């Protein structure tokens, strides 16, 4: 069902400060900031040899990241994204096995311009999982 890890997402209260910290301490290549109103976030990607780290900052108080930061004011790991060969088949298998897709069952377009779904954390050992069409 799952392929390689696409990215690990970290919620941050201040994306520019987080970008500066990552740049200064690691020298990593960092993308420009993207705004994704349909997901309620600003995002950047930090390139690693075998994947990416995604930094997420809420656009406003209605963002799902806002609630996460209320519980974790310094930020922290938010989710792991896996590429899948067939997102619809993966979704259907998940649902058939009793899993839940957050935000409805229809995929939305993610930060990479590809369809994505999110699996409820309680359905996979307490971790929010994003599946992205490879």
Contacts of 79 (CB under 8 A, 6+ apart): 8, 9, 118, 127, 128, 129, 130
Number of folded domains in the chain? 1
Residues taking part in catalysis: 130
pLDDT tens digit sequence for 1-55: 689 999 999 999 999 999 999 999 999 999 999 999 999 999 999 999 999 999 9
Q: What CATH number is given to the structural domain containing 81?
A: 3.10.180.10
- Across 64-80, average pLDDT: 96
**pTM for the structure as a whole:** 0.93
- Residue 94 pLDDT > 80: yes
Q: How far is residue 69's CA from residue 55's CA, in Å, rounded to a whole number?
A: 13
What pLDDT was estimated at residue 81?
A: 98
Contact 99, 90 (CB under 8 A): no
What pLDDT was estimated at residue 80?
A: 97
83: which strand partners? 132
Q: How far is residue 47's CA from residue 91's CA, in Å, rounded to a whole number?
A: 28
Domain housing 72: 5-133
User: What are the φ/ψ torsions at residue 77 (nearest 5 degrees)?
Assistant: -60, 130
- In terms of DSSP bridges, do strands 108-109 and 128-133 run parallel, antiparallel, or are they unpaired? unpaired
Contact 45, 63 (CB under 8 A): no
What pLDDT was estimated at residue 2?
A: 87
pLDDT tens digit sequence for 104-119: 999 999 999 999 999 9
What pLDDT was estimated at residue 8?
A: 98
- Across 53-80, average pLDDT: 96
């Amino acid at each position: 069902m799952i392929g390689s890890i696409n990215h690990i997402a970290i919620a941050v209260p201040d994306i520019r400060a987080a970008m500066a910290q990552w740049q200064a301490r690691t020298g990593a290549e960092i993308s420009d900031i993207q705004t994704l109103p349909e997901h309620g976030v600003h995002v950047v990607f930090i390139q690693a040899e075998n994947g990416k780290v995604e930094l997420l900052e809420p656009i406003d108080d209605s963002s799902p990241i806002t609630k996460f930061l209320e519980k974790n004011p310094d930020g922290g790991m938010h989710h792991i994204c896996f590429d899948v060969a067939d997102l619809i088949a993966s979704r259907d298998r998940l649902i058939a096995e009793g899993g839940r897709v957050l935000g409805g069952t229809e995929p939305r377009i993610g930060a990479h311009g590809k369809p994505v779904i999110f699996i409820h954390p309680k359905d996979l050992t307490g971790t929010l999982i994003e599946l992205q069409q490879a």
